Structure 1
Amino acid sequence: MKNKRNVFYSLLITMAGAIYFPVQAQQKSDAQNVVQTKDVIPSQGPNSIVRTIKQDRKGNIWIASWEGVFKYDGKSFTNITSKVSPARFFSVLEDRKGNFWFASIGSGVYYYDGKSFQNFTTRDGLANDRVTNIYEDKAGNIWFGTEGGASRYDGKSFRNFKMKEGAAITQTDSIHTSVYQYQLPEVHWMHNDINSIIEDKTGKLWFGTRGYASVYDGKTFTTITNKDGKPFANVRSIIKDKKGNIWLGGDDGLWRYDGSTFTNFTQKFVGYIYEDKKGNIWTSSETSNGQSRALSSGSVNTKTWALSRYDEKSLSGKKPTVTEITNKPMIFGILEDDKGNIWFGTFDGVYRYNGNTITSFNGKNF
């Protein structure tokens, strides 16, 4: 299964042994790099892979898919990028100013102010044109996770963070010391591919990569390990919950860090983590259950991935209550909208779960 996952998820980084350098980016006033276009309004949402789903401050749902970036206003879908780029899109972010950023595979990043687009690529200073993740930190910097490292954009220039691939890892190297001060393996092939970026309550940045996950304190990167000294490898998703806890999901399953201790909730591969308004934790993860699960819309055959909910009230116990909502060959981004519905992306489009039934927006019956 790991080989198959890598085929579908080629997108992430690792920051041990990092070097960084600033490069100047083109300003947004550069008219040659601004594209204005008319929106295309299809009759339905995307019917291919959907990687990220977000809701903006106006209530619109934004969907990053392999067919482009779609906006859903509650009535119709608009393909925002159809006339701008044929690239596959993996992430979308609304920044604190209300502008949007779209991450693409092969075409860099698109900045959208609601009327026109500006494209940022390696020519402007971006670390790599294959971008899979976008995050805004407390200071308003925009971070991009690429296949060639992390890029931080301050509105004027990019600062790129890369690492030394294949570097030896020793106990005396502060960059490679685990958070529990265990000695790490002598050699590990590190990656620049970045899956996820999050800022914790102390201001440190956490990076989930194809190699080891790391924490950056502004000066050095520290490889993250659990209490047994094992590094977290191939971390696909990292979030900070309302209490300030950090959640990690990847090859090693689902883990929570409360500032001093790591707690494991499942050892099954976890591809995405999301916290809803009630504090429940939602995940997309592998499942070996071959039975079918009944929903009010009918029975659904269990396949590779499960959309699961961890009940907030039970997370302090040793055996949390986990509800498996549905199964699909693949499940990616998860979102709770302002009405309490849960949206999730799959290999064939986007779906919405209202607590009882699941609705498809790809023109097909669920």
Structure 2
Amino acid sequence: MNILDKKNYQIRHWESEEIRDQWIKSMTVTSDGSIWIGTLTQIYRYNPDLSLRKQYDNSLPASSINSIFEDTTGDLWVALWRAGLYKYDAVTDTFVRFPAIGKINNPFKIFQDNRKQHWIGTWGDGVYLFNPEKKGDEMYIHQEITGKERGSPENTFYSIVQDDVNNYIWLMSISGLYALQYTKEGNLKEVDVSYLF
């Protein structure tokens, strides 16, 4: 792993014994300076000085860490391959499981837009608007997106971002790129971005 020093733009190599031979799937730096690294089977938390703080062996299933994301309230979310969505509990230093998303329960990407709405792109169940304050099935609202080539629902999304110019929510899937925008009523509609290709 390499680290870019943003003060002088120098790159230096960083080698940690714990992750030396690991396949790194996801990482994030949280507001407290902690560095969270997700591998094929575990999460590692490092201090800002790059010393290992903790290796989380038992509070998550042994599954690939698809995504680690800190939202604007400081909550840390983890998406696991075919093992669901988890939220970090700082008091107990463990991860709490959330209800299953769709039939496959395979969240792949977590994102929060500038309206503070959470989005979850899944591998096999489409994309969902996620409200962690709701209970059970009410916390996930499926957003139907039809694949351009096949004319059938798009089910696999692996990246979600929002641009600062048009405020479009961009979704990258196996078969294409999609853009959504909020209407005045607060609903979502697909934006035609075919001119880009």
Q: With the length of structure 1 as denominator, give the TM-score of the two structures.
A: 0.41
Structure 2 gap segments, 5+ residues each = 1-15, 183-187
Q: What one-letter code is carried by the residue in structure 2 that aligns with 1:206?
A: W
Pair 1:94 & 2:60 matched: no
Q: Identity across aligned pairs (percent)?
A: 18
Counterpart residue number, 1:216: 180
The separation in 2 between residues aligned to 1:141 and 1:80, in whole angstroms, is 28
Pair 1:105 & 2:57 matched: no
Q: What one-letter code is carried by the residue in structure 2 that aligns with 1:221?
A: E
SS in structure 2 of the partner of residue 96 of structure 1: coil
| 1:150 maps to which of 103, 110, 127 | 127
The separation in 2 between residues aligned to 1:44 and 1:132, in whole angstroms, is 24
| 1:76 maps to which of 52, 56, 62 | 52
Q: Could you report, residue by residue, the CA deviation over 1:268-317 in whole angstroms, capped at 9, with x for unpaired residues?
A: xxxxxxxxxxxxxxxxxxxxxxxxxxxxxxxxxxxxxxxxxxxxxxxxxx
Q: What one-letter code is carried by the residue in structure 2 that aligns with 1:197?
A: I
| 2:32 maps to which of 43, 54, 58 | 58
- Counterpart mapping for 1:311-326 below 5 A: none
SS in structure 2 of the partner of residue 44 of structure 1: helix
Please give the root-mean-square deviation of Cα atoms over the aligned residues, in Å: 2.4
Counterpart residue number, 1:119: 97
The separation in 2 between residues aligned to 1:193 and 1:96, in whole angstroms, is 26
The Cα shift of 1:45 comes to 2.5
Counterpart residue number, 1:160: 142
Q: Could you report, residue by residue, the CA deviation over 1:86-112 in whole angstroms, capped at 9, with x for unpaired residues?
A: 111111011122221001001111011
Counterpart residue number, 1:225: 194
The separation in 2 between residues aligned to 1:189 and 1:96, in whole angstroms, is 34
Structure 1 gap segments, 5+ residues each = 1-41, 170-184, 231-366
SS in structure 2 of the partner of residue 54 of structure 1: strand
Q: Could you report, residue by residue, the CA deviation over 1:211-256 in whole angstroms, capped at 9, with x for unpaired residues?
A: 11111113322353355xx3xxxxxxxxxxxxxxxxxxxxxxxxxx
Whether contact under 8 Å (1:102, 1:110) holds in the other structure is: yes
The separation in 2 between residues aligned to 1:121 and 1:49, in whole angstroms, is 27
- Counterpart mapping for 1:1-366 below 5 A: 44-45=18-19, 47-73=21-47, 74-80=50-56, 82-114=58-90, 115=92, 116-122=94-100, 126-127=101-102, 128-147=104-123, 148-155=125-132, 156=134, 157-164=139-146, 187=150, 191-201=154-164, 202-218=166-182, 219-227=188-196, 230=197
The Cα shift of 1:77 comes to 4.9
Whether contact under 8 Å (1:108, 1:130) holds in the other structure is: yes
The separation in 2 between residues aligned to 1:131 and 1:46, in whole angstroms, is 26
The separation in 1 between residues aligned to 2:36 and 2:154, in whole angstroms, is 30
